Amino acid sequence: MRSLGRHILVEFYDCDPVALNDLSLVESAMKEAAVVAGSTIVDSVFRRFAPHGISGVVVIAESHLAIHTWPEYGYAAVDLFTCGEKVDPWAAHDHLQEVFRARDSEYKELARGELRVLGENACHKPKGSLGPVPHQAG
């Protein structure tokens, strides 16, 4: 891997509009996609809008998966951002395409944190790196 992470921007077209407007289904599909990709779920938040549409994010230890749906157009915009070499964002893509019954998808894959800029000795979690910051009540 020549970067810290991979970010796949997905356009799912001609999806099942009922599925795209089902909060429970969208949330479970996104969490399942994170698991199928081999990531570790940290937290998630999803919201249904009136009259239709859902937005949500699954925070994973390796970055995030996010979705915004437009059921009236059969369309979903999905971000699959994963870091490290053990997580497969394409497995998440394939899972979501199946669940939403998307007949078509387009994507752009970006390398995030390119090592040519950060330096050849950079790695995903350098030894002695900072760990998670504990939550502080404020």
- CATH number, residue 39: 3.60.90.10
The residue to which tokens 């050849």 are assigned: 120
Which helix H or strand E contains 115, and what residues bound it?
Answer: helix 115-118
- Does 87 reside within a domain? yes
Expressed as residue numbers, the domain containing 17 is: 3-112
pLDDT at 119 over 70: no
CA atoms within 13 A on the CB side of 101: 9
Question: pTM, whole model, 2 decimals?
Answer: 0.83
In DSSP terms, which residues pair with 76 in a beta bridge? Answer: 12, 69
- Does 119 reside within a domain? no
pLDDT at 121 over 80: no
Q: Is the pLDDT higher at 19 or at 2? A: 19
Query: Would you name the residues annotated as active-site residues?
Result: 63, 68, 83
- Does 83 reside within a domain? yes
User: Once rounded to an integer, what is the mean pLDDT over residues 94-105?
Assistant: 97
Number of structural domains the chain divides into? 1
In whole numbers, what is the pLDDT of the chain averaged over residues? 88
* pLDDT score of 138: 46
